[in-house]
Structure 1
Amino acid sequence: MCGIAGIYQLAKTEQPDQQILATMNNSQLHRGPDAGDYFFADTIGLAHRRLSIIDIAGSPQPMVSANKQAWIVFNGEIYNFKQLRQSLIEKGYQFTTQGDTETILNAWLEWGEDCVHHLRGMFAFAIWDSKKQCLFVARDRLGIKPLFYSLLPDGQFIFGSELKVIRNHPDFDFSLRDSSVEDYFSFGYIPEPYTIYQHSYKLAPGYSLLLQYGNNTLPVPKQYWDIPTQWQQPLATSELQQHLIEHLREAVDIRLVAEVPLGAFLSGGVDSSAVVALMAGLQKDPVNTCSIGFDSKAFNETEFAQQVADRYKTNHQVNIVSQNDFELLDKLADLYDEPYADSSAIPTYRVCEMARKQVTVALSGDGADELFAGYRRYKLHLNEQRLRNMLPLAIRKPLFGPLGALYPKLDWAPRLFRAKTTLQSLALDDISAYHNSISILRTDQRKSLFSKAFQQRLNGYNSVAVFNRYRDKIEHLDPLKKVQYLDMKTYLVGDILTKVDRASMAHSLEVRVPFLDHKFVEWSFQVESGANLQQGIGKFSLKKALEPYLPHDVLYRNKMGFAVPLAEWFRGPLKQRVFDKLLCDEMLNSGYFDANELKRLLDDHSKSLKDNSAALWTLMMFAAFLQRGQ
């Protein structure tokens, strides 16, 4: 696991500034503390920071091919590199190292842009081909590894593993993108392919870029893979459990190759417990596992993690942190580089910090909720969809639209009476309704929050456009598959994988994700929706398959999640801090917000009239970003 960076002069024959690239690369030292080096040629500069996992003694980067034609910088792991290497040797290619990096280089020489189709793993890499005078950049299929880029006005293409890398170029444009601000206050993150900045981007999962010298315009990224949405027939339940375990075991097995200490997160939930159970059957030594707990029972899952640890006799470490562990607040803005509002970033940071003391590589259970319908919101969405199916939109919109607008936000009331979001969603089509349900601040709330001037600049743009990009692709899918697909393209990569990548790499820890093996994704996304959400139980097919491996309490208890008590914080120890943050000069002078609405959100929450904690946290992280400056 590493950090990569580079500068490519598209418009002029001039070597990039070595000191500038060094400054960019040094900003991601945490991603690769073991080694770092550079390559410079006529128009290209490549940089690398290395965290040594495989072929520790060899595989330095930037790496050149045996024929001296191509150079690569690479972040990630290719799990099928040994088989691919043998195939390339049979085609006549030479290898001077034992790692996976050289395999990508030779795959490029053999297949060109199609090399990505032969790679199984997580990756972001850039290859400079001196013969073709081109730079090829690619990101893995699910977006486990990040890649940011920008084209500067003078034709310099700059890229890096984190946004801070390209921000450190002196010509970087810090102008903010208005639509990204709107997206952020809906999703709590900024979805691919955009960033908070007007002229910088994230390379989307499953996409590549080919840049040719002399063409100083950004090419359109090329999609080489997508989650399958067409199949002859969904996978039925017969023999499903056996096949699920076989496919998942294989995805876990290929992720156990490492020349450094390896272990797993063990939260006590289904997904991480499944990974640990299968790891235990695949290796002779006890699995290294770690759990983080809270000093509040409402947030603590360590007793369930301990059940799994005891069953498989793992080398288990537990660390209990205070539920009032908010000393990381100021660090989050530096960690994520752009506004990011998932408060579980705090415990994620802590569990990565703890794991790194024991291992260098950790397996996680991320991705299972999206693949097997584990989130509670899926059940709620399907219940709403049944009502939507009873009445056409032409009737629902005038009937439920006004009711949703008039109905008060009753956070203090029993759940039965908190119907505002549901009424609004019933007046919408299914994709717009799901967007409304998952938004941190719904459309009406964002309209109240934003200043009139900013609303005019948005010119009618609404963050539902993020979902609408995929509408034609998923229109034929059933209601559950639609929202699972949307989550995998947005929430999974923009929130979950972003959170884990930044938190883990802050501690030079590599995290591997078996559930997001692309072959496993291609197989599991065909499982019938009725097999995944059954009897009101999410991830039903996965849980049934795991019954021989995990305790009943772990499989069928209510999902807890990795939460922190925001509502209590903002009425207690952080009350003054959140007031100061939201009413600071940077927020009030930004031009984005209605100051009276900011004050109302604060007052209503502090007086316990409403639970505005999610909105306040989202605003607080935006304020931290603004205060961070350039």
Structure 2
Amino acid sequence: MSRALAHRGPDADGLARRGPAVLAHRRLSIIDTGSAANQPMDLPEAGLTIVFNGEIYNFAVLRTVLEGRGHHFQTHSDTEVLLHAFAEWGTGCLERLVGMFAFAVWDQRRRVLTLARDRLGKKPLFFALRGEGIAFASELKALRLHPFVDGSISSRAVSQFLSLGYVLGDACILDGVEKLGPGEVLEVGEAHVERRSYWNLAAHFQAKRRFTSRDAAMDELGELIDTAVRDRMVSDVPLGAFLSGGLDSAMAVEAMARSGRLGGIETFTIGFSERGYSEAAEARISADALGVRNHAHHVDAAMAGILPAMVHAADEPFADTSMIPLWFLSEFARRHVTVCLSGDGGDEAFGGYVTYAADRIHQMTRWIPGWAAASGGRILDAVVPATHAKVGWDYKARQFLAGHPLPFPQAHYSWRTLFEGDAKTALLHPDRRAAVLACRPFDSFARHFQAVEGCHYLDQAMYVDIKTWLADDILVKVDRMTMAHSLEARAPLLDHRVVEFAAALPVDWKLRGLTTKYILKEAARRRLPARVIDRRKAGFNAPVAHWLNGGLAELARGVTLGGPLLE
């Protein structure tokens, strides 16, 4: 199991048996790279042992507090601070942490194992719980090696994958395996199992803040972003940033420059030869405006041999094509740095997706009869051929018209679906069809909608997207593709303090009319050129349609029409 995770930690490995518990760790050394900070790490006086994946950004502040309470430290690592924090406050330490993490603490005296995951789910944690014990790992490829996991396929996960292109956090492609949810803690003892949440983002959507002015809110937002970026620049190894040419990554890089980092800032961009997909030119404009060095790398369809490695890295079935450019971007950046900051999270926290505009139009046009929308969709199908454009207007129109007759929650869900109804049925083998179709992915969305029932419909949409699309697609993609190359990605816009601030904002400060990310854009005007802020949102997609009709055509036909499978 440990060897299966060597890519996540190529710098050191450790294995420890403490009574009935066996803990293994692979280390990517970021803070205090000395061997004394390797894991598993023990705190003998408390009878505790920890394995930990991630970073605690406020570890220096916590260390000072703990020293004041009589704790003594042997290293300068955040792991040791986390271990002492657990000894001092137990699971109450989770509310004090600023960071991304998945960790396990074994308490030898109480014979209790505690698993915990960060608030937004940046770091993964899979587990299999049986009567005789528990097995867990950062990735499914490691956990499936344990005898608790028999390898049978979950119909629920297959249903979710076909509908959404990814598997939600309340399922796993392998039966009997669970994922600890974002902001959850699990305690397993000899006589009890307790699983609970320690963070309630819904409460921040429900308790809207009152600001003296919009300018005051923008001042606070700027300070929060500066703090989040500064916290994430603590590193004892080379650090850089992803730069796409869009607003969110530019905001992160601008804050890095604002911090006065010595030695310059290295940024990294991926590009494609297909028109409309490459952001290399826009990233160059942003880099020049910010005064940072930019390195661009171009990718084409001559990468068929890499696809099996990407599939292996993803673990579960995963159909977000942006995993392809991120794979190459991560590999390219890792040649220069070990840590990269990114702009992930801005769209979910501040309302940046066109789907939120679709939600608003849906509310404004509910008076249109369902038959009229359905007729419009049929006319569009007959008159306008499908294109290879990056999320072209025709695709958006088809999705909108198909979902328009539905009530709001189902309509919002439909904006992101791939296969539903007859199309989904046609893909399934008769032997599995009934079991898969009996599992409705929307039921998982419905539970999240219920958590923010009574909130503005756009707040509901953003909360649900944070709990589904962000946690189970975006952050999965980022973690697997970066860690496949032993690169750590840090997302300042997903600092929980920034996300809580955004949740408590008035809806019209996030989506003003049909203008997305309104307050973030207005705050950015104090820092960035207008051409960076106002450029059309492009998205981080690969030109897969072009490749499947070109350089990948033979491979695609072979895999889908009964040819040899990828190995």
The within-5 A match list for 1:335-484 is 335-388=313-366, 390=367, 399=371, 409-410=381-382, 412=385, 415=393, 420-458=398-436, 460-484=438-462
In the other structure, the counterpart of 1:231 is 207
Q: Does structure 2 conserve the Cα–Cα contact (< 8 Å) formed by 1:400 and 1:426?
A: no
Q: Give the whole-Å Cα distance in 1 for the aligned partners of 2:457 and 2:359.
A: 8
1:332 and 2:310 matched: yes
Out of 132, 135, 144, which is 1:155 matched to?
A: 132
1:262 to 239, 253, 257: 239
Residue of structure 1 in register with 2:155 after alignment: 178
Letter in 2 for 1:476: G
2:15 is matched with 38
Q: Which residue of 2 aligns with 1:570?
A: 548
TM-score scaled by length of structure 2: 0.93
Q: Which has the higher contact order (CA 8 A, sep 6+)?
A: 2
Determine which of 179, 182, 188 is the counterpart of 1:205: 182
1:298 aligned counterpart, secondary structure: coil
**SS at the partner of 2:365?**
helix
- For residue 139 of structure 1, the aligned residue among 114, 117, 141 is 117
**Cα deviation per residue 1:455-494 (whole Å; 9 max; x = unaligned)?**
3224632111120121221221212111111111111111
Instruction: Give the Cα–Cα distance (whole angstroms) in 1 for the partners of residues 158 and 423 of structure 2.
Output: 14
Q: Choose which of 491, 497, 509 in structure 1 pairs with 2:487.
A: 509
Whether 2:291 is the aligned partner of 1:313: answer yes
CA root-mean-square deviation: 2.3
What are the Cα deviations for residues 429-471 of structure 1, in whole angstroms up to 9, with x where unaligned?
1111111121011334213333444332246321111201212
Amino acid at match of 1:480: L
Question: What is aligned with 2:389?
Answer: none
- Residue 526 (1) aligns with residue 500 (2): no
Counterpart of 1:581 in 2: which secondary structure?
Answer: helix
Correspondence 1:513-592 to 2 at 5 A: 513-584=491-562
Separation in 2, partners of 1:232, 1:357: 44
Residue 593 of structure 1 corresponds to none
Aligned match of 1:253 in 216, 226, 230?
230
**Which residue pairs with 2:300 in the alignment?**
322
Which of 75, 88, 91 in structure 2 is aligned with 1:110? 88
Distance 1:585 1:286, change over 3 A: closer
Please say which of residues 552-561 and 527-536 is displaced more in the overlay. Answer: 527-536
Residues 452 and 403 of structure 1: is their aligned pair in 2 closer, same or farther, counting only changes over 3 Å? Answer: farther
Could you tell me how far 1:363 is from its partner in structure 2?
Answer: 0.4
Query: Aligned equivalents of 1:404 and 1:211: distance in 2?
Result: 55
How far has the Cα of 1:517 moved from its partner? 0.5
Judging changes above 3 Å, is the alpha-carbon distance between structure 1 residues 190 and 584 closer, same or farther for their aligned structure 2 residues? same
| CA distance, structure 1, for counterparts of residue 17 and residue 372 of structure 2 | 62
The question of whether the paired residues in 2 share the 8 Å contact of 1:294 and 1:323 is answered with no
1:562 partner SS: coil
Distance change >3 Å, CA 118–CA 127, structure 1 → 2: same
Tell me the TM-score normalised to structure 1 length: 0.84
Describe the superposition over 1:28-76 as per-residue Cα deviations: whole angstroms up to 9, x where unpaired: 1011111011110221000000111111113121011151510000001
Name the CA shift for 1:550/1:455 in 2 (closer, same or farther; >3 Å): same
Distance 1:287-1:418 versus aligned 2 partners, 3 A rule: closer
Aligned mates of 2:27, 2:495 — CA distance in 1: 23
Opposite residue 428 of structure 1, the aligned amino acid is L
Q: Which residue of 2 is the match for residue 169 of structure 1? A: 146
Measured at CA, do residues 523 and 418 of structure 1 come closer, stay the same or move farther in structure 2, by a change above 3 Å? closer
Amino acid at match of 1:293: G
Which string of whole-angstrom CA distances, capped at 9 and with x for unpartnered residues, describes residues 516-535 of structure 1? 11111111222222122224
CA contact (8 A) 1:267 1:301 kept: yes
Matches of 2:68 and 2:376 in 1, distance apart?
A: 65
Q: Which runs of 5+ in 1 are unaligned?
A: 1-23, 587-623
Q: Percent identity?
A: 36
Alpha-carbon distance in 2 for matches of 1:417, 1:301? 21
- Aligned mates of 1:321, 1:423 — CA distance in 2: 34
Contact 1:304 1:553 survives alignment (8 Å): no
**Residues 310 and 481 in structure 2, CA contact (< 8 A), matched pair in contact too:** no
**Preserved CA contact (<8 Å) 1:80 1:120:** yes
* Superposition deviation, residue 119 in structure 1: 0.9
Which moves more between the two structures, 37-46 or 410-419? 410-419
* Bigger mean CA deviation after superposition, 283-292 or 430-439: 283-292
- The answer on whether the counterparts of 1:296 and 1:323 sit within 8 Å (CA) in structure 2 is no
How far is 1:279 from its partner?
Answer: 0.3
Q: Whole-Å Cα distance in 2 between the matches of residues 357 and 146 of structure 1?
A: 25
2:275 matched residue in structure 1: 297
Q: Does 1:221 align with 2:199?
A: no
Q: CA deviation at 1:311?
A: 2.6
Given that 2:348 and 2:466 are in contact with CA atoms closer than 8 Å, whether structure 1 keeps it comes out as yes
The total of aligned residue pairs comes to 556
